[in-house]
Amino acid sequence: MAETIWFKEFSVEQANSRGKGTMFEHCEVLISEVGPDYIKGTMPVDHRTKQPRGILHGGASVVLAEGIASLAGNMVLNPDTHFAVGLDVNANHLRPVTKGHVEATARPQHLGKKTQVWEILLHHEGKLTCVSRLTLAVLARE
C-alpha cells in the first residue's frame, strides 16, 4: 500500500457511516473514494440543494466542500488526542449546475500542528464548477 496522510486506514463505508444523522445525510453527500492524500465525495443537485432559480445553491456547494474536507482533516489526526473544526471557508462559484451530481475532491495544502488548509475542487460532468478552501483549527482533546 502506498504511503498515506491518514492516521489510520479507513474505508469509504466507514467514512459514510460518520454522516448518519447529519447534514451529509440530509443532502445525500456520499464519500466515493479515499486516496492516499485525497478524499472524494458526491452530492445530488435536486430540490434539497437547489436555490429558487433552479441552480445548485452556493451554500450546498460549501456543505459538500467543507464536509468532505472536515472529515479528511479529522482522519489525519489521532482521534484520542486531537480533533479539527472549521475556522474559515470560502468558495468561488464558477458555473451553474442544474441537474445530476457534483463531485468534490479535497486535498491538503497545509497540515500543521495548529491549523490545516484544504483545497476542494467541485466538478460537474468534468467541468470545474467551484473552487473552495477550508481552514481547520486543530484542537487538543481534554
pLDDT in tens, 3-16: 999 999 999 999 99
Active site residue 66: yes
**Active-site residue identified among 13, 66, 119, 142:** 66
Q: What is the pLDDT of residues 91-138, one digit of tens each?
A: 999 999 999 999 999 999 999 999 999 999 999 999 999 999 999 999
**What fold is seen in the domain 12-140?**
Thiol Ester Dehydrase; Chain A (3.10.129)
Listed as own residue / partner, the contacts of 30-36 with beta carbons closer than 8 Å and 24 or more positions apart are 31/68, 31/71, 32/103, 34/6, 34/10, 36/2, 36/3, 36/4, 36/5
Q: Scanning the structure block, which residue is given the C-alpha cell 483549527? A: 137
pLDDT higher than 80, residue 1: no
Nearest to 73 by CA among 59, 57, 89: 89
pLDDT band (50, 70, 90) for residue 2: low
**Residue 67 pLDDT:** 97
- Residue 119 is predicted with a pLDDT of 98
pLDDT digits (tens, 9 = 90+) for 33-48: 999 999 999 999 999 9
At 18 the pLDDT is: 92
pTM, two decimal places: 0.95
**Mean pLDDT, to the nearest integer, of 64-80?**
98
